[in-house]
Amino acid sequence: MTAATVQRARPSGFRISKRVLPYLLSLPALLVCIGILIPFLTSVVYSFQRYRLSQPWARQFNWGDNYISFFTDPKFWNTLQVSLLYAGITVVLELLLGLAIAMLLQKRSTLNNFISIMLLMPLMTAPALAALMWKLMTNPGFGVLSYLASLIGLQDFRWASSPSTALLTVVLVDIWVYTPFIMILLLAGLRSLPTQPFEAAALDGVPRSFVFFRITLPMLMPYILTATLFRLLDSIQQFDIIYAMTQGGPGDTLTVFQVEAYLNFFQSTNVGRSAALMIILWAITYFLSNIFIKNWLRLRERARGQA
């Protein structure tokens, strides 16, 4: 009888091998992305060419010339510096602010949940349009923010139009748009932390700061890494906000990679240089995310080991 049960359950006909299954599952996603890999490689080829759309006859391989020329090009170093500075400032500020807000909203309540969804609204505003609205709000004449600034004594605050405050202003818009992203991820993280260590610490009268730095932060680390990774990738590639606010100006204050590459392609139609810039940007993001992913995996392993 028992044998019959086993017999009946035996597989018949086509069956997917256990070894092939995971490949089969990830294959469609991979294929879709491979389709995108081909143009990527094409761009790599472009980056090794002297290639201006307006001078098609002069198109030829110049191998590393596009890259080598960057070394002696102060504009490139400025771009690199501004991009890293921008990404660094926005990510750090958004992380701190996002964490603070998440901690304010940590307690589960209808009001807190409602506020957290409301705070997502900036994220739902397309950055390009958000920048446009901020531009209006910081207009020295009609802008409500300029008006408010003048009320608190900043009569002549020039926002995005002065080199000394342009970075600050654009960072402000970036913070406005993207802090909610970090906030929601960290809020989720905070709320999923086990309660016991905190209760124990509270009972033992452990100082709050100690709890925060020794318990909360380490346990939140994987969330922080994920949020930082996605933000960093977007931030170092920021285009919409900067382009809409200042087009990279004033002067060369905000000529980050994507703005430079965009202008190089669409205005100068210098495809070779544009592609080389983007490949370098890609290499930087690849390098940074590699570090992040390694740490992320390590932290996950550790968390898994503890469980």
Partner 1 sequence: MYEKEKDLIDAFMRGQVDRRGLIRGLGALGLAAGTAGTLLNFGQTRALAADFDWQSHKGKTIKLLLNKHPYADAMIANLENFKQLTGMNVVYDVFPEDVYFDKVTAALSASSPEYDAFMTGAYMTWTYGPAGWITDLNEWIKDPAKTNPNYAWDDFLPGVRNSCAWNGKPGGELGSEDAKQWCIPWGFEQNNITYNHGMFEKAGVKVPGNMDELVAAAAKLTKDVGGGVYGIGVRGSRSWATIHPGFLSAYANFDQKDLNVSADGKLSAAMNTAESKAFHKQWVQMIQESGPKDWSTYTWYQVGTDLGAGASAMIFDADILGYFMNGGDNKMAGKLAFAGFKANPAAKAPTPNIWIWSLSMSNFSKDKDATWYFMQWASGPEHALFGATKMDFVNPVRQSVWKDDVFREKLNKSYPGYVEMFDASAPGASIKFTAQPLFFDLTTEWAATLQKMVAKEVPIDEGLDKLAESINGQLKEAGLG
Partner 2 sequence: MEHTSLLERILRGIALTLVVIFFMFPIVWIFMMSFQTNETILRIPPQLVFEPTLANYTALITGKLMTAAGTLDIAFMRNLWNSVFLSVTSVAVALLLGVPAAYAFARHKFRGSEDIAFTLLSFRFAPALLVLLPLTLYFQKLGLANTYFGLIWVYQLICLPLILWIVRGYFEDIPADIEYAYRIGGHSWFATFRKIALPLAGPGIAAAGLLAFIFAWNNFVFALVLASADKQPVTVGALAFITSSGIQYGQISAAIVLSITPTLALALYAQRYLVEGLSLGAVKG
Partner 3 sequence: MASLELKNVVKRYKSQTVLDDLSLTVADGETLVLFGPSGAGKTVLLRLVAGVIDPDEGKILIGGEDMTDVDAEFRGVGMAFQNFALFPHMTAFDNIASPLEARHSSKGVIKAGVESVAKLLKIDHVLSHKPRALSNGQKQRTALARALIGSPPLLLLDDPLRNVDAKLRFEMRLELPRLLHDRGATVIYVTQDYKEAMALGNRIAVMSQGVIRQLGTPEQIYREPANIEIARLFGDPTINLLDVKPARDAKGIYVGLSNVQVHLAGAFEAAVGRDCVIGLRPEALSFVGEATPGAFPVTVEAETPLNEKIVTLVRTVRGREILVSRPAGAPGQAEGKAHIAVDSKSALLFDHASGERIGANKVVNLRSGEAA
Judged by the rule CB under 8 A, the positions of this chain that interact with partner 1 are 52-56, 58, 69, 135, 138-142, 156, 158-163, 166, 245-252, 263, 265-271
60 binds, among partner 1, partner 3, partner 2, none (CB under 5 to 8 A by kind): none
How far apart are CB 41 and partner 1 at their closest, in Å? 17
Tokens 């139009």, residue located = 161
- Our finding on whether 195 is near partner 3 (CB under 8 A) is no
Going 100 to 101 to 106 to 107, the CA torsion angle's sign is positive
292 binds, among partner 2, partner 3, partner 1, none (CB under 5 to 8 A by kind): none
Choice between 68 and 104, CB closer to partner 2 = 104
How far apart are CB 38 and partner 1 at their closest, in Å? 15
User: Which one-letter amino acid corresponds to residue 27?
Assistant: L
268: Cβ–Cβ under 8 A, 6 or more apart, which residues?
A: 52, 274
How far apart are CB 151 and partner 2 at their closest, in Å? 9
- Our finding on whether 304 is near partner 3 (CB under 8 A) is no
Could you report how far apart the first and last alpha carbons of the chain are, in Å? 41
92 binds, among partner 3, partner 2, partner 1, none (CB under 5 to 8 A by kind): none
Q: Which residues of 20-38 are buried (b: 16+ CB within 10 A; e: fewer)?
A: eeeeeeeeeeeeeeeeeee
Choice between 167 and 224, CB closer to partner 1 = 167
- Among 18, 29, 153, 209, indicate the residue that binds partner 3 (CB under 8 A): 18
- Our finding on whether 3 is near partner 3 (CB under 8 A) is yes
- Our finding on whether 9 is near partner 3 (CB under 8 A) is yes
How far apart are CB 196 and partner 3 at their closest, in Å? 17
- Our finding on whether 307 is near partner 3 (CB under 8 A) is no
How far apart are CB 300 and partner 3 at their closest, in Å? 16
Judged by CB under 8 A, the stretch of 11-19, 177-185, 196-204, 240-248 that binds partner 3 is 11-19
How far apart are CB 240 and partner 3 at their closest, in Å? 41
85 binds, among partner 3, partner 2, partner 1, none (CB under 5 to 8 A by kind): none
Choice between 89 and 149, CB closer to partner 2 = 149
204 binds, among partner 3, partner 1, partner 2, none (CB under 5 to 8 A by kind): none
Q: Which residues bind partner 3 (CB under 8 A)?
A: 2-3, 5-6, 9-11, 15, 18
